[in-house]
């Protein structure tokens, strides 16, 4: 049993990380950390964590002798310092995406991991969707042949003005790095590469902010939004595939909507996820050689149904399946995000 210390008790921790830890037969949540003392107390009661294993300073959690591995679920601006410290203390860890605010910080994590020999996993959670994993396996088997086109969308609606969303950290550059691009766009960048095996070569991007001010959390007035609300970008892969991505937090009726279309010489896949349809991930397949000439919904084999935190446990135990995102993958992702930001700012194509 691996004993987990979890840093950051916000939404992603509550919805994904802690439920996964609790469900795993190989993980035990033994310590928690958050700078919000009231939240820390409430979660301690909910998770049955003793007071002496509740921390407001992440250094204390990482140094706790009862913690074997560390789970980092904080805002983006804390990722680098926490991951580096965990590595320096010899702690294996997982960290939320995007891995950092910029490439320099991401490379600092890689350097610390390399020096210490620990293992770090980046929580690209959609790598653990069964439909995405099945698509990856079929593409590796050559079902699509050479890939020509990839179209990807990731839409949410919570940024819309009528949602009255205040100036949370995801709207502030110093805390998040980028807006919809880093929050949502990095997921589909990774997911496309994960499924297809394609690596990005050149990128060009356009970013837009629709709402430039939001109410501050403390009620003291309005504050500026200095990150993107939407991001559209094109990518060319090393093999020559043409990719288009559309990312937005301003798409009405979309809770957590993803659609990825992959077109090859032998056929096509359409991966889809929609939170408004029970959150079910699906995979449709078109076989160019078939007489039916229509897309069919594939049944996903049980072997591709996995849980992110159980995969983390397997990785930490030394028997991962090889499909997890390690720190090198996080660095690669951050390099692409930085290139996309440069492209949007300068209005030009950028080579990765």
What is the DSSP secondary-structure string of 296-335? EEPPPPGGG---HHHHHHHHHTT---S-SEEHHHHHHHHH
Q: Tell me which of 3.40.50.720, 3.10.105.10, 3.40.50.1000, 3.40.50.300 is the CATH number of domain 2-125.
A: 3.40.50.720
Q: How confident is the model at residue 293 (pLDDT cuts 50, 70, 90)?
A: confident
Q: Boundaries of CATH 3.40.50.720 in the chain?
A: 2-125
Arch. (CATH architecture) of 129-306+323-351: 2-Layer Sandwich (3.30)
The rounded percent of the chain whose pLDDT value lies above 90 is 97
H-helix or E-strand containing 45? helix 37-47
| pLDDT above 80 (res 277) | no
Q: How far is CA 60 from CA 53, 101, 107, 234, 318, in A?
A: 9, 24, 25, 44, 26
Q: Mean pLDDT in the chain?
A: 97
Task: Label residue 275 by pLDDT band (50, 70, 90).
Answer: confident
Q: What are the pLDDT digits (tens) for 20-67?
A: 999 999 999 999 999 999 999 999 999 999 999 999 999 999 999 999
* Cβ-contact 96, 123 below 8 angstroms: yes
What tens digit of pLDDT does each residue of 181-238 get?
Answer: 999 999 999 999 999 999 999 999 999 999 999 999 999 999 999 999 999 999 999 9
CA 93 to chain centre: 15
Per-residue pLDDT at 279: 81
In the chain, where does the domain assigned CATH 3.30.360.10 lie?
129-306+323-351
Q: What angle, 0 to 180 degrees and rounded to 10, lies between the N-to-C axes of helices 130-140 and 186-196?
A: 40
**Tokens in use for 145?**
């042949």
| Residue 276: pLDDT over 80 | no
Asked if 348 and 204 touch (Cβ cutoff 8 Å), the reply is yes
Judge whether residue 278 has pLDDT over 80. Answer: no
pLDDT, residue 95, reads 98
């Amino acid at each position: 049993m691996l004993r987990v210390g979890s840093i950051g008790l916000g939404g992603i921790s509550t919805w994904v990380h802690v439920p996964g830890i609790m469900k795993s037969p190989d993980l035990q949540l033994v310590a928690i950390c958050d700078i919000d003392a009231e939240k820390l107390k409430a979660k301690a009661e909910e998770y049955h964590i003793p007071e002496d294993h509740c921390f407001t300073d992440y250094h204390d959690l990482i140094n706790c002798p009862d913690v074997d591995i560390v789970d980092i679920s904080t805002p983006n601006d804390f990722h680098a310092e926490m991951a580096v410290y965990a590595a320096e203390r010899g702690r294996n860890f997982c960290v939320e995406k995007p891995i950092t605010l910029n490439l320099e910080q991401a490379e600092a994590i890689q350097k610390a991991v390399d020096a210490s020999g620990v293992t770090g996993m980046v929580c690209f959670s959609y790598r653990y969707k069964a439909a995405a994993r099945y698509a990856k396996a079929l593409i590796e088997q050559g079902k699509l042949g050479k890939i020509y086109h990839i179209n990807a969308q990731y839409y949410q609606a919570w940024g819309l003005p009528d949602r009255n969303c205040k100036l949370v950290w995801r709207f502030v550059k110093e805390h998040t790095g980028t807006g919809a691009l880093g929050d949502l766009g990095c997921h589909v960048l990774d997911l496309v590469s994960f499924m297809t095996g394609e690596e990005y070569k050149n990128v060009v991007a356009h970013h837009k902010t629709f709402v430039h001010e939001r109410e501050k959390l403390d009620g003291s007035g309005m504050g500026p939004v200095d990150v993107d609300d939407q991001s559209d970008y094109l990518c060319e892969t090393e093999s020559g595939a043409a990719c288009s991505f559309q990312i937005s937090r301003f798409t009405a009726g979309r809770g957590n909507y993803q659609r990825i279309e992959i077109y090859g010489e032998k056929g096509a896949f359409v991966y889809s996820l929609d939170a408004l349809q029970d959150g079910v991930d699906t995979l449709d397949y078109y076989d160019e050689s078939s007489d039916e000439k229509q897309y069919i919904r594939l049944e996903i084999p049980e072997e591709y149904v996995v849980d992110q935190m159980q995969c983390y446990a397997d990785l930490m135990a030394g028997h991962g399946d090889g499909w997890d995102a390690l720190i090198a993958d996080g660095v690669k992702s951050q390099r692409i995000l930085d290139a996309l930001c440069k492209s949007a700012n300068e209005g030009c194509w950028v080579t990765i």
